[in-house]
Amino acid sequence: MTVTGERLRTGRGLGTSAARPDGVPKVSGTFGFSSDLHADGMVWGHVLRSPHPSARILGVDIGPALAMAGVHAVLTADDVPGTNGFGLEHADQPVFARDVVRFTGEAVAAVAADHPDTARRAAQAIVVHYEPVEPVVDPEAAIVAAPIHPDGNVFRHLVIRHGDIAAEGDVVVEGTYEVGMQDQAFMGPESGLAVPDDVGGVDLYMSTQWLHVDRDQVADCLGLAPEQVRLTLAGVGGAFGAREDVSMQVHICLLALHTGRPVKMVFSREESFLGHVHRHPARMHYRHHATRDGRLVKVEARMLLDGGAYASTSGPVLVNACCFAAGPYHVPNALIEGWAVRTNNPPCGAMRGFGAVQACFGHESQMDRLAAELGLDPVELRLRNAMRTGDCIPTGQVVSGAAPVAELIRTCAAAPLPALDPAPSPMSMPGGSGRAADAGRVRRGVGFAVGFKNLMYSAGFDDFSTARVRLDEGVATVTCAAAEVGQGFVTLAQQIVRDVLGVDEVVVAPAETMTIGSAGSTSASRQTWMSGGAVQGAALAVRARLEAGQTGPIEETYEHHHPPTFPLDDNGQGNAHVSYVFAAHRAVVDVDLDLGLVRVVEIATSQDVGRVLNPVQVVGQIEGGIAQGVGLAVMEEIVLDRGLVRNASFTDYLIPTALDMPTVTVAALIEEPEPGAPFGAKGVGEPPTISSSAAVAAAIRAATGLALPRIPVRPQDIALA
Amino acid sequence: MPAAAAPVALPESVDEVLQALADEPEAMILAGGTDLMVEVNAGRRRPVSVVSLTRVRELAGWSRDGDEVVLGACLTYADMERGPLAALVPALGQAARTIGSPQIRAAATIGGNLGTASPAGDTLPVLAALDAVVETAGPQGSRRLLVGDFVTGVKQTALLPGEIVTAVRVPLRRGRQEFLKVGTRNAMVISVVMVAVVVDLDGRTVRAGLGSVAPRPVRARSAEAFAAEHADWRRGAVASPDVVARFGQLCAEATSPIDDHRSTADYRRRAVAVCASRALARVLPPEGVHGDGGPSDE
Ligand SMILES: Cc1cc2nc3c(=O)[nH]c(=O)nc-3n(C[C@H](O)[C@H](O)[C@H](O)COP(=O)(O)OP(=O)(O)OC[C@H]3O[C@@H](n4cnc5c(N)ncnc54)[C@H](O)[C@@H]3O)c2cc1C
């Protein structure tokens, strides 16, 4: 079924645009973000970071900092009671560097002081003797370079051999593509508050994406039992993957335990850019084989991801980049090789789209190249090869769920094109208020792209979720550790419980680790399926007891698991994924050919959603995801110079403003229920980001006739081509 | 996060400002705070005391003085971007409209743009092209300096200790004006390149100010002379597209841009040439083109 027209259904249950409980507080400024936390008697933490991408530490003198008035503690690697290492997959990143620093921004020491400015100045007073070492910044060179970490320089090497890898097509197109380092650039900087208890434990209030895994990593570094670290989610100002890794969590807990005082820390914008992971920059080489009539025969790809100094989620990001390297197409044969490597660049990890974004830019650029070679319309070529239910991806796994790829392409391509403005004003031309564009030198281009990725975690990871529902005197309370990071899970939890129990008042309790099990991470477009499923399960169990005639308060806890997945074998084959989600994007851009300035005029999109649970929230995710996709296409990039970040600020790391945001036209939300998914619904958060960048790049190519093998496309890439 | 508290003086006249600065030589001058507070919040500057200009009425607003307009140092971009001042000095209005966001434009001042003296300060090439004069007041009295002399280097000015900018005098000219700014975003962006071109129909001259392409705002003198010589002043039209192209080229040759994280030197040179040509074509539209010059903003 396709939803068109008025999608703003009113009401409070599933399928309606039920209002967010946190909406009015956020808009009116009363919502408490983690940066607003306060505890009586609290002191302020600050972290000293490495100014070098690679250096030996010859000595650290904390004396001058300790001697400053108002300073309560100065901690280094010597003060870490547990494991001096953390990481989502491998604990390879030190809490504090001891002998070497491996990236600009690596933590070396931390200070607690009466005042944030005192803490900052005390951190600057610490004397660190560095001996700079030539950094390894080229990911290709890193594969063979001397190891810069005891665990080596290769996080993951993966080869996928699918079908007949010697197969040849009548037509072969080849290309090398590059994606720059994007940042999640959320608005609310990292911030948290750690409060020590009297018996060696700590209460941590933190804006994060995955409470229980934070807790476990913190406990391990502190040498505590997990229960001694009690984590409560504090108001999150955006996440997009960057809060999945530990940032300040261990540091503030350590400071709190040392000082016996509550410790608060808020990153400055610069620290935020230095203190969290980014999207992996990618270099991709592709060779597509096809028949003369435009059927894909084989896809060969080599994907090289720069993981930066520490592992974070580089392994799974690479698995994704390789699994989805060929795109949502019927590809009988494939040979895909991937490398995720360690360098002295900033660490990279999770970001919306998780490996699929980079791959999509590669495979969609190739599809356009192939279409040009064959003299076929790019949309027609995609239709001829569109994946269907029953096809398999290059890992040999059959796509058994909904795969409405052809319908997405058709509906998106059929959306009416925006009219050309016969008398454009500067604000509607490239460069906007700068008035630099010349209408006579502005060309319009249209580009198309389709992308897909997995929902939930993959390759054997059981990322279950737990929820509890309590019904007492007509009021239902949901307890679940799913992190609300802006995506609207709290709204959905209310909608589910209202539907299942027929009650109106549903309270969503704070997410914490004390009374409830893990909900998994708010990532991989998984919380609607996983925590939505857990809430549904708990509510159904409550209803069953109600129906059995029970009176008084009823409470049920439910753990929701998805079907098991399996690691890939030596040939990259295996049933590694649970489910897939697809989207198509058509971008319309205007480009000033002489200045290389781009205005994205419109993005039309069709998305595979399974079922629309909250229309306004779906469109919100689509618009936000497209904003990030547009950003990656034309402006967002962490600029590195031999391992140094050149633009760690919102002055110079540019994200789209309201005036850069195109009109978003939702051509179709395809509601083909996903078998096995609670409510038949698929996650909607990531698909808008996956193919929107590729579509914009394609549109710029169409306007300029240039190859443009790299995103973001910079003005000089066009003007000086 | 707040920095350690610093006392803030709130004088109400220029004399009181100068006295406050004499009393507290280390004090920092605060106007709209859109540059200063960013520096303070980032920990790059730690004021021991602050003298605020916000209550000094004689520094606010603008007035007309014969064939000049006098812009108070605390004139905001919100005051410049539309209304009578934008009609009198269009290039200044156009530049003001490119600056920051509405919130920034409501607070930020022209005196602050001069005080910061960033190579990317958007009003500086306009003021340079207008032959604007900066008026200062200080312990030794007041001085008048051309903008090109006021800005002495990257974020450096000719201000002496205890001196402040009180006003900017802008000569009014009959003729079209254009300001073009290139950045990698449609708004709220630091300039990669700026070009201001001002025509003086009475003096039969063209003035060009360039920004973000050298440590200080640049006047493209040979381009100006070339345009003045090749313009058909009787008909108010540039003779040919060749002249427009050559003017752009000469402007580009007047620059000394660098590669940085915002752009490259080569792109900046190219963008200056393109923007300067477009600006000239708008202020002296080639024969046969009878528009109103540049595109309208509304
Ligand atoms: C989000 C944002 C966007 C911005 N965008 C732009 C932009 O697009 N273009 C642009 O050019 N700038 C931009 N800026 C920078 C800034 O807004 C301008 O430079 C503005 O003109 C500064 O004016 P202010 O009154 O806020 O100065 P303040 O911050 O108060 O002062 C700036 C400096 O000038 C000194 N000063 C101020 N007034 C005087 C005076 N009368 N005499 C002597 N010294 C003085 C101060 O001591 C200080 O050193 C932006 C800033 C922000 C935060």
Distance CA B121, CA A81 (A): 51
pLDDT at B240: 82
Q: Are A170 and A290 in contact (CB under 8 A)?
A: yes
User: Is residue A457's pLDDT more than 70?
Assistant: yes
Distance CA A701, CA A713 (A): 10
Q: How far apart are the first and last CA of chain B?
A: 39
User: Is residue B119's pLDDT more than 60?
Assistant: yes
Closest CA to A336 of A349, A347, A327: A327
Closest CA to A598 of A471, A437, A411: A437
Angle at A72 between CA A70 and CA A76, to 5 degrees: 130
Q: Which helix (H) or strand (E) holds A705?
A: none
pLDDT digits (tens, 9 = 90+) for B272-295: 999 999 999 999 987 655 444 444
Give the residues surrounding ligand 1 with Cβ less than 6 Å away: B 28-36, 38, 53, 73, 98-100, 104, 107-109, 111-113, 115-116, 121-122, 159, 164-165, 188
pLDDT at B238: 73
Instruction: Give me the helices (H) in A560-672, please.
Output: 615-634
Give the ligand 1 atom nearest the CA of B77.
21
- Provide the CB-side half-sphere exposure for B85 (13 A, CA): 25
Closest CA to A619 of A565, A563, A684, A573: A684
Q: How many CB atoms lie within 10 A of CB B125?
A: 32
- CB-based contact, A189 to chain B, within 8 Å: no
Find, in chain B, the residue whose alpha carbon is nearest to that of A265.
Answer: B1
pLDDT digits (tens, 9 = 90+) for A75-92: 999 999 999 999 999 999
Burial category of B102 from C-beta neighbours within 10 Å (exposed 0-12, middle 13-18, buried 19 and up):
exposed
Q: Average pLDDT over chain A, rounded to whole?
A: 97
Q: Which helix (H) or strand (E) holds A214?
A: helix A211-222
pLDDT at B239: 62
The two three-digit tokens of residue A335, written as one number? 């040979």
pLDDT digits (tens, 9 = 90+) for A674-717: 999 999 999 999 999 999 999 999 999 999 999 999 999 999 99
Distance CA B212, CA B157 (A): 16
Closest CA to A192 of A74, A32, A85: A32
Q: Is the pTM of this model over 0.95?
A: yes
pLDDT-derived band at A548 (thresholds 50, 70, 90) equals very high
What is the rounded average pLDDT of the residues B2-16? 85
What is the rounded average pLDDT of the residues A53-80? 98
User: Is residue A199's pLDDT more than 80?
Assistant: yes
Centroid of chain to Cα A12: 29
Q: From chain A, pick out residues whose CB is under 8 angstroms from the CB of B184.
A: 597, 634-635, 654, 714-715
User: Is residue A398's pLDDT more than 50?
Assistant: yes
Burial category of A168 from C-beta neighbours within 10 Å (exposed 0-12, middle 13-18, buried 19 and up):
exposed
What is the rounded average pLDDT of the residues A36-40? 97
Distance CA B131, CA B148 (A): 9
pLDDT at B234: 83
In this complex, the residue of A268, A425, A596 whose CB is nearest that of residue B297 is A425
pLDDT digits (tens, 9 = 90+) for A615-674: 999 999 999 999 999 999 999 999 999 999 999 999 999 999 999 999 999 999 999 999
pLDDT digits (tens, 9 = 90+) for A267-323: 999 999 999 999 999 999 999 999 999 999 999 999 999 999 999 999 999 999 999
Amino acid at B171: P
In the structure, how many helices (H) and strands (E) does chain B have? Answer: 12, 16
Domains of chain A: 23-31+464-561 (3.30.365.10), 34-133+189-236+243-275 (3.90.1170.50), 278-458+569-719 (3.30.365.10)
Residue A132 CB partners (closer than 8 Å, separation 6+): A52, A54, A55
The DSSP string of A152-217 is -SEEEEEEEEES-TT---SEEEEEEEEE-------SS--EEEEEE-TTS-EEEEE--SBHHHHHHH
User: Is residue A569's pLDDT more than 60?
Assistant: yes
Find, in chain B, the residue whose alpha carbon is nearest to that of A191.
Answer: B1
Q: From chain B, pick out residues whose CB is under 8 angstroms from the CB of A429.
A: 295
Buried b (16+ CB within 10 A) or exposed e, A255-270: bbbbbebbbbbbbbbb
What residues pair up with B144 in beta bridges, in sequence order? B135
Smallest CA separation from ligand 1 atom 9, residue: B99
What is the rounded average pLDDT of the residues A246-263? 98
pLDDT over 90 for what percent of chain B? 88
DSSP type of residue B188: S
Radius of gyration (C-alpha) of chain A in whole angstroms = 25
Q: Are A439 and A428 in contact (CB under 8 A)?
A: no
Q: How far is B290 from chain A (nearest CA, A)?
A: 15
Q: How many CB atoms lie within 10 A of CB B68?
A: 15
pLDDT at B158: 98
Amino acid at B125: P
For residue B112, the CA-to-ligand 1 centroid distance in Å is 4
Bigger pLDDT: B1 vs B279: B279
- CB-based contact, B261 to chain A, within 8 Å: yes
pLDDT at A3: 40
Q: From chain B, pick out residues whose CB is under 8 angstroms from the CB of A599.
A: 186
Pick the CATH number of B177-283 from 3.10.50.30, 3.30.390.50, 3.40.50.620, 1.20.120.430: 3.30.390.50
User: Is residue A67's pLDDT more than 90?
Assistant: yes
pLDDT at B290: 46
For residue B57, the CA-to-ligand 1 centroid distance in Å is 19
Give the residue, out of B70, B101, B113, B142, with the most ligand 1 atoms within 8 A of its beta carbon, to mutate for a pocket test. B113
Which ipTM value was assigned to this complex? 0.95
- Provide the CB-side half-sphere exposure for B96 (13 A, CA): 26
What is the rounded average pLDDT of the residues A157-171? 98
Selected for mutation to probe chain B from A433, A598, A646 (highest B CB count within 10 Å) is A433
Q: What share of chain A is helix, strand, coil (3-state, %, to 5)?
A: 30, 25, 45
Strands (DSSP E) contained in A50-96 are: 55-61, 71-75
Angle (deg, nearest 10), helices B221-230 and B241-253: 170
DSSP type of residue B271: H
pLDDT digits (tens, 9 = 90+) for A328-374: 999 999 999 999 999 999 999 999 999 999 999 999 999 999 999 99
pLDDT digits (tens, 9 = 90+) for B244-263: 999 999 999 999 999 999 99
User: Is residue B296's pLDDT more than 50?
Assistant: no
Q: Taking a contact as any Cβ pair under 8 Å apart, which residues of chain A between 119 and 138 contact chain B?
A: 120
Angle at A648 between CA A646 and CA A649, to 5 degrees: 125
pLDDT digits (tens, 9 = 90+) for B18-58: 999 999 999 999 999 999 999 998 888 989 999 999 999 99
CA distances from A661 to A26, A262, A606, A628, B182 (A): 22, 42, 18, 10, 18
Q: Average pLDDT over chain B, rounded to whole?
A: 93
Question: Domain B57-171 classified CATH 3.40.47.10?
Answer: no
